[in-house]
Amino acid sequence: MGGVTSSMAAKFAFFPPNPPSYKLITDDATGLLLLDHFPHRENVDVLRLPTRRGTDIVAVYVRYPMATSTLLYSHGNAADIGQMYELFIELSIHLRVNLMGYDYSGYGQSSGKPTEHNTYADIEAAYKCLEESYGTKQENIILYGQSVGSGPALDLAARLPRLRAVVLHSPILSGLRVMYPVKRTFWFDIYKNVDKIPLVKCPVLVIHGTSDEVVDCSHGKQLWELCQEKYEPLWLKGGNHCNLELYPEYLRHLKKFISTVEKSPLRRNAGRRSTDGIEQPRRSTDCFDAPGRGSEWKEKAENLELELQQCYKAQSRLSEQLVVEVAESRASKAALEEKETAFTDLQKELAQTRDECSQLKVDLEEKIKALELVVSENHSLRKQLEEMIVKAKNAEAENKILVDRWMLQKMQDAERLNEANALYEEMVDRLKASGLEKLAQQQVDGVVRQSEDGAECFVESTVPAACKRKITAHEGGCASIMFEYNSSKLISGGQDRSIKMWDTNTGSLIRTLYGCLGSVLDLSLTHDNRSVIAASSSNNLYVWDANSGRVRHTLTGHIDKVCAVDVSKISSRHVVSAAYDRTIKVWDLQKGYCTSTIVFHSNCNALCFSTDGMTICSGHVDGNLRLWDIHTGKLLSEVAAHSLAITSICLSKNGNVVLTSGRDNLHNLFDMRSLEVCSTLRATGNRVASNWSRSCMSPDDNYVAAGSADGSVYIWSISKADIVSTLKEHTSSVLCCSWSGLGKPLATADKNGIMYTWA
């Protein structure tokens, strides 16, 4: 049974503020307990009370001068006395009552755990403190229960026959009825207020908001119907669970209720004497006139009884008048004290104002003297101004002569600059011609060489025509794939936060790299195939050892998701990354930290190193292609590549051509030296799927592969600028493509996390 009840209590859910809104401190001078961050008040005591269940609870007691009643306040679920402290002070002042508020076990700085039976023990400890420490009688105590606090309040009220009154603020019928509209009370329910309120023998005031979304207003109405002594309830129209104290009617109605119960006499249990049991006088033969006297006595008794009733009525009226007069006297006395206090404050303000006036008079005299001095200085400055005006006119005439001479010199410089521009254009044309000759020399016997300085050679690529293998790679989508250099091993990263290495010949999984805390948005690999770098939505980059699978570095510094990463083609030491915090960062893998940061105004979706490792190519949301100097971080050049955002950048093997893809569904080839468009590739039905859709070039720089939102993969011939193949196996948008450096296969991945290899 206990286990089920505890389970129900857990579902009812106590919500103590975490962390607590206050701390307990001890005054070094007085040894008194104080609430941290709250000023000490002479009329407030902070207490720690032991309960019968072995816990210690924190309570505050607020005194009010001349108060006759004491309010024992049980607060709501998600509060503690640190949050209620100022309300306790205000209620004590406006209601003119002493007030004790306490924290349940496990709330605030109270020990133990919050349970139903612990709250019963908590309110008993507070009530015991009022009786024993403050001498408060049961007849002068008003229990106040708010929300879940109505449970311990009604439990105690049902056991106190001489209680003054009870106030229920947004009360609950029972714990289970808050969650489910059940019609009966089950044995495992908690806070069974619906069964306890008929046992309460004192006046009960119910306050509830009609728009309460936590505890429906029907709870308060049903409890009011079950009261023995009903007092006029307060249904606050539009009030919800936590704002009833803000309504003016709340305080007025509460003051009226407390005034009424303080004026009303307490119930007495004296019973009426019955005349039924009185023995009738016996008839005597000696007293012949007994019947006549009996009727006379009866008449006198009736008259006396009538007079007695009239006396009782007169006494009742006088008692009521006396109570009213005493209350008015107390109110007048309190008003007089307030006016005396206000009068004292006004006297202090008057004295302070007089002092301020004296000081202002002294300040005024000083200002007048200062003004006279300033006036004399102003006259001298005017004379100087007139002299400066004459000088300015002379300078203006000289300046006009100099401007004419400068304009003549500028025209001469412009002519020389035009001659220099013509010379520069001639040199650029020569450079283009020499570059085209060098590019034509790089194709020999079906082998395309990257450069003449000893770079790797790649076999001529074949046009893929059919699906070779299907691989289910990642749950939620695969955002990036790439082949190892000179290998058929494929590396993939996806929304499931994992990096996987595959054998494309067999389709088997070789290794899974763990440790990434966000979705993988881009991948890169050092040229020695030893390290894998992933850009993640967790704002970090992760570097793994490809052989051991262990994380070597976690590169932190970006403040938004990292969407692009690349490794230098010269050194495996330098890495560059771009994030949606409008920065590009350059990293040193040996040291594991950022060496420089480039800031720009438009977010970067893709980037890559140049072949010499000295320049960074970046594609941005504004559709521009930008080149940056890696050492100085300065912008070298910029071109409007697309009308919409750039989603992908791929550099050719010889480093002379860069491929860009954009949300305008175009794929442009730019000459790296002049940033002029060499070719534009397009296809009917081709739609770029996302801001990070990656296209690629074949190893021999003859073909371009790009995926579409309809699941198609398009292959273009660069020389013909036309489609040579369309691959259709994907059932969702294709996000990325990668071409093996061996010439085949081509790998593609889609939003469902499915990869295909094509040959």
Q: Which residues are catalytic?
A: 147, 212, 241
Contact between 604 and 627 under an 8 Å Cβ cutoff? The reply is no
Q: Are 718 and 698 in contact (CB under 8 A)?
A: no
Q: Kindly give, in sequence order, each residue whose CB lies less than 8 Å from that of residue 22, ignoring residues fewer than 6 positions away.
A: 35, 36, 37, 38, 80, 81, 82, 85, 108, 109
CA angle 671, 463, 503 (to 5 degrees): 100
DSSP 67: -
Helix (H) or strand (E) run with residue 316 in it: helix 290-440
CB-facing half-sphere around the CA of 482: CA atoms within 13 A:
23
| Amino acid of residue 380 | S
Phi-psi region of 468 (alpha: psi -120 to 50; beta: other; left: phi over 0): alpha
What gap in Å lies between CA 434 and CA 621, rounded to an integer?
Answer: 34
The most distant pair of C-alpha atoms in the chain lies apart, rounded to whole Å, by 163
Q: Give the N- to C-terminal CA distance of the chain in Å, as an integer.
A: 69
For tokens 């009185």, name the residue.
Answer: 278
Please choose, from the candidates 258, 210, 204, 209, the residue with its C-alpha nearest in 3D space to the C-alpha of residue 231.
204
- Local structure of residue 657 (DSSP, 8 states): E
Nearest to 672 by CA among 422, 425, 423, 435: 435
State CA 307 to chain mean position distance: 75
Q: Encoding tokens for residue 371?
A: 């003004």
474 close to 495: Cβ distance less than 8 angstroms: yes
Contact 107, 80 (CB under 8 A): yes
With residues binned 3-state (H G I as helix, E B as strand, rest as coil), the percentages for the chain, rounded to 5, are: 35, 30, 40
Give dist(CA 480, CA 502) in Å, integer: 13
CA atoms within 13 A on the CB side of 549: 9
Distance CA 273, CA 138 (A): 28
Single out the residue of 725, 716, 714 nearest to residue 688, CA to CA: 714
β-sheet bridge partners, residue 208:
235
